[in-house]
Structure 1
Amino acid sequence: MISLIALTNPQISLAQTRPNSRPTPTNRPAPARPTARNVVQAYFDDITKRGSSGVAYWCSSSSDFVSTFYAPRAYRILSSSIYGNGGSFVVQLEASNRGGSPVIANWNVYVDKEKSREAAKKPWLPGGYCIKLISEVR
């Protein structure tokens, strides 16, 4: 006898159904692992929605390269390339300049794993990823 549940639930295969047994789900999604993209989203969410400078998201080795934005309002990740321990992203940022005029620009955002073990444990650095460098797309 084949259970009706097995026929209507794509997560349960027919091989799992046996007479007088309850089918069990397969292919349960694994818990999401932090990714380089997570730190980019967290950084831009913080600066656009919470008014933060975002400095806490930068890698400790990049302290000389920290960039901040004046009055950022919204962002969109346009593209990404993930590699080894990091990735690069192109992010479109809507902001205002000091005079209040709207500015929309695309930025290259480079992400890496934090080298400092202590800094990598910070809860706002998902998976130990951090912002390594941000430069305007030219």
Structure 2
Amino acid sequence: MADTIFGNGTDQWVCPNDRQLALRAKLQTGWSVHTYQTDKQRKNQSLDDNEMESILQVIRRAEKVDTLEQQRIGRLVERLENMRKNVMGNGMSQCLLCGEHLGILGTTSVFCQDCKKKVCTKCGIETLSNLKRPTWLCKICSEQRE
């Protein structure tokens, strides 16, 4: 079965056959009117120096943003590991992070929704849950979510 070519000159395009459409559907790429462009047509659509420089600037900016983001994530991971190493309490009768005694004679405690440990209100962070209700997280779990 031959492909059907529509248009003339530089505006030619091909209607993909069923096999190509099925493959593109699996790859989720769709199909374009520019599928049938020849190498000669693509070469005629070259970029000038200003366009090329603009594209290179965008790529450089994107790489810089990626580098900064990777550094930020690295700092967060390092800070999280340090917090886990410096845990002082048991999370039941003592604050998990600072080790202060909790309960009637001690500091007020809150329950971390993620790790299910007790922390004092200084070491806990109040946030909103998906249901817009206030919930508490310890600083470790809050950092983990970031």
Shorter-chain TM band: under 0.3
The structure that has the greater radius of gyration is: 2
- Structure in which a larger fraction of residues adopt helix: 2
TM-score with structure 1 setting the length = 0.26
Larger RCO: Structure 1 or Structure 2 (Cα < 8 Å, ≥ 6 residues apart)? Answer: 1
